[in-house]
Amino acid sequence: MTDQSKPHPMTDFDSKWDSPESYIIGITREIWEERGVDKLNALYATEIPVRFPGGVSIGNQAVITSTHATLAEFPDRQLLGEDVIWSDDGEGGFLSSHRLLSTATHTGDGAFGAATGTKLVYRTLADCATRANTIYDEWLVRDVGAMVRQLGHTPQEFATAQIESEGGVDSATRPLTPESAPAAVYTGRGNDHSVGLRYQEMLSAVAAGDYSEIESDWDRAVQIELPGGVTGHGWPAVQSFWSELRAAIGDAALHVEHRVGRDDPALGARAALRWWLSGTHTGDGIFGPASGAALHIMGISHAEFGPWGLRREWIVFDEVAVWKQILLAR
What was the pLDDT predicted at 225? 98
Select from 246, 244, 217 the least CA-distant residue to 313. 217
Residue 33 reports pLDDT greater than 60: yes
| Residue 230 to residue 222: CA distance in whole angstroms | 14
When pLDDT is averaged across residues 57-62 and rounded to a whole number, the result is 97
At residue 5 the predicted structure's pLDDT band, cuts being 50, 70 and 90, is low
φ, ψ for residue 299 (rounded to 5)?
-135, 155
> Do 194-329 and 20-165 have the same topology in CATH?
yes
Give me the residues paired with residue 223 across strands. Answer: 233, 312
At residue 46 the predicted structure's pLDDT band, cuts being 50, 70 and 90, is very high
Select from 242, 227, 245, 230 the least CA-distant residue to 124. 227
| Residue 193 to residue 2: CA distance in whole angstroms | 10
Does the model's pTM come out above 0.95?
yes
* CB-count exposure of residue 294 (10 Å: 0-12, 13-18, 19+): middle
% the chain with pLDDT above 70: 98
What was the pLDDT predicted at 272? 98
| CATH number of the structural domain 194-329 | 3.10.450.50
What was the pLDDT predicted at 62? 97
What is the per-residue pLDDT across 85-129, written as a single tens digit (0 to 9) for each?
999 999 999 999 999 999 999 999 999 999 999 999 999 999 999
What was the pLDDT predicted at 1? 40
% the chain with pLDDT above 90: 98
When pLDDT is averaged across residues 308-317 and rounded to a whole number, the result is 98
Residue 2 reports pLDDT greater than 60: no
Q: Which residues, including other chains, have CB under 8 Å from residue 310's CB and lie 6 or more apart?
A: 199, 202, 217, 218, 219, 222, 303, 304
When pLDDT is averaged across residues 238-266 and rounded to a whole number, the result is 97
What was the pLDDT predicted at 4? 56
Fold held by 20-165: Nuclear Transport Factor 2; Chain: A, (3.10.450)
At residue 6 the predicted structure's pLDDT band, cuts being 50, 70 and 90, is confident
What was the pLDDT predicted at 330? 85
At residue 42 the predicted structure's pLDDT band, cuts being 50, 70 and 90, is very high
SS3 content of the chain, % helix, strand, coil (to 5): 30, 35, 35
When pLDDT is averaged across residues 255-282 and rounded to a whole number, the result is 97
At residue 289 the predicted structure's pLDDT band, cuts being 50, 70 and 90, is very high
The domain segmentation of the chain, as residue ranges, is 20-165, 194-329
How many other CB atoms are there within 10 angstroms of residue 119's CB atom?
12
Residue 3 reports pLDDT greater than 60: no
Considering the chain, what is the average pLDDT of its residues? 96
Q: Where are the alpha helices (DSSP H) in the chain?
A: 20-28, 40-43, 60-73, 144-150, 155-165, 194-207, 214-217, 235-248, 319-329
